[in-house]
Structure 1
Amino acid sequence: MKFWIQRQLTVIVVVALLGSLSLVGCTSPQADSSTTATEAPTITAQANNQDMSELPKLEGKATVVMTVNGSPITIEVDGDRAPVTAGNFVDLVERGFYDGLTFHRVVKEPNPFVAQGGDPEGTGMGGFVDPDTNQPRYIPLEIAPEGSDEPVYGKPIGGTPALKHDRGAIAMARSQAPNSASSQFYFTLADHSFLDGNYAVFGRVTDGMEAVDGIAQGDSIESAKVTAGLENLKK
C-alpha cells in the first residue's frame, strides 16, 4: 500500500513538471490569451510546413559562453544532431538577443527540474521577432532518433533520441503545439528521461554546471557569446 501511494505521488509530480514546462513555453503562432491549459494551440498548415531553408542552421558544433551571476556557463551546441534548433540558438546569441533577459521559471522543488529563460517579455509567453521582417520566428520540433543521421521534424518520437535530457542538457521550451518553439530554452537540473522524445535538446553544459545550479528565478543573463564554431552558422 505504501509503495502504491509513493508511485502515485511520483506520477503526479512528473505530470505537474511536464505541464509547467509546456505551458510556460512560447505561444504558438496562432495562440492567443484565451488559450487554456486544456486547449492545444492551433498551428496552421503554413506553420507546419514552414520553409526551413529560411531558418539559420548550424552545420557542426559551436561553443557558447553564457554569464549568469558573474559566473561563466560553457555550452556545447550540437548542430550535427539538431541543426535548425542549434542554428536558431547560435543566431540569437550572436545577435545579442539573450543579453539582459531573465530566467523567468526555475523549478527546484520537490526535486531539481529546470531553469528556463530566453523570453523577452519575462512572462513565459514571448519569443523572438525578427527585426528585418517584423515577424515572429518559430522553429519546428527537431529530434534525431538514436542511431539515425536525420532528425524527425514536427512531431515527438517514440524511441530513444540521440540527445537526451541528462543533467546539464539545454533544450527548447514550447507550448503544446510541436512547432511553437522560438527563443525560450531551459537547462535540466537533473536527469529527466521522461522528457526525451518530446522536447528538442540541442546541446549540453560542459563547464559551469555549479553556476546553473545556482540560478534563481529572476536572475539575468549578463551576456551570451559564441566563442567557437561561428563559422558553422549558415543563414
Structure 2
Amino acid sequence: MKFRLGLIGLIGAVAASTLPLAAQTLDPENTLVITTSEKCKITIGLRPDLAPKHVARIKKLAREKFYDGVIFHRVIDGFMAQTGDPTGTGMGGSNEPDLPAEFSKAHFDRGTLGMARAQSPDSANSQFFIMFADGGFLDGQYTVFGGVASGMDCVDKIAKGEPPANPSKMVSVRILKDVQ
C-alpha cells in the first residue's frame, strides 16, 4: 500500500512538473516580476532545480536593484529579447564573478529564460534573454534558469532592434516574496 501511494505521489509530481509554468503554483521566493517601460508585468518562474547558481545570481542582483532601468539592448523579432547589461551595449555586466555553465536538457521554447554569455560557456554574468519562439538549436549550449509564467503579451511588446531605436527597459525587477 505504501508503494502504491508513493508511486501515485511520484506520478502527480512528474505531471505537475510538466505543466506549463502558468498552470503551476509559483514559489514567491523563486518568482521574478519585471515591470517594463510599456507599463506591463512579466512574471517569471525561476528554476533553481536546473540552475541553482544562476538563479541565486539573478535573485541577488534583483534584490540589489541592479536591473532597474536597464534596457533590452538586443531584440530580434522571432528569436529573443536580451537585457541585463547596465551599459546597454551588450558588453557589460555586474561586478560579480562570471558563472560556470549549468547546462541541462531543458528545451528553449517560447517564454524560456536563458543566460547570455560570451564564447566561453563559463562566462555568464548578469545578461539574460527571453525567447519569443522555439530555439531548440540553443538546447544544451546555454543555461536555462526560468520561464515566463504570465506576461508573454508584454514580452511581445518589447521594442525590436540591435539595438532598438527606442529601447524598452526594465523599470523594476523584484522577487515576488519581497513585494507581497
* Unaligned residue ranges in structure 1 (runs of 5+): 1-59, 130-135, 145-160, 231-235
Q: Which amino acid is 1:114 matched to?
A: M
CA apart distance, 1:229 = 8.6
- The equivalent of 1:80 in structure 2 is 49
CA apart distance, 1:115 = 0.2
Task: Return closer, same or farther for 1:84/1:204 CA change in 2, 3 Å cut-off.
Answer: same
1:6-65 Cα distance to aligned partner (Å, 9 max, x none):
xxxxxxxxxxxxxxxxxxxxxxxxxxxxxxxxxxxxxxxxxxxxxxxxxxxxxx960011
Alignment check: 8 A CA contact 1:116 1:184 kept: yes
Counterpart secondary structure, 1:98:
coil
Does 2:109 align with 1:140?
Answer: no
1:162-205 Cα distance to aligned partner (Å, 9 max, x none):
x2201000110001111111000000000110100000010000
- The CA distance in 2 between the partners of 1:172 and 1:164, in whole Å, is 14
Structure 1 ranges of 4+ moved more than 6 A: none
Alignment check: 8 A CA contact 2:29 2:176 kept: no
Q: Which amino acid is 2:75 matched to?
A: V
- The equivalent of 1:92 in structure 2 is 61
Q: Which amino acid is 1:113 matched to?
A: F
Counterpart secondary structure, 2:69:
coil
Return the TM-score normalized by structure 1.
Answer: 0.59
- The equivalent of 1:174 in structure 2 is 117
Task: Return closer, same or farther for 1:120/1:164 CA change in 2, 3 Å cut-off.
Answer: same
* Unaligned residue ranges in structure 2 (runs of 5+): 1-27
1:108-164 Cα distance to aligned partner (Å, 9 max, x none):
1xxx000000001110000101xxxxxx421011113xxxxxxxxxxxxxxxx1x22
Q: Tell me the C-alpha RMSD between the 2 structures.
A: 1.7
Q: Which amino acid is 1:176 matched to?
A: Q
Does 2:33 align with 1:65?
Answer: yes
- The CA distance in 2 between the partners of 1:66 and 1:203, in whole Å, is 13
- The CA distance in 1 between the partners of 2:68 and 2:31, in whole Å, is 16
Question: Which one of 86, 104, 116 corresponds to residue 82 of structure 2?
Answer: 116
Return the TM-score normalized by structure 2.
Answer: 0.77
Q: Which amino acid is 1:117 matched to?
A: T
- The CA distance in 1 between the partners of 2:88 and 2:97, in whole Å, is 17
Question: Which one of 138, 146, 150 corresponds to residue 195 of structure 1?
Answer: 138
Percent of pairs with identical residues? 43
Alignment check: 8 A CA contact 1:61 1:79 kept: no
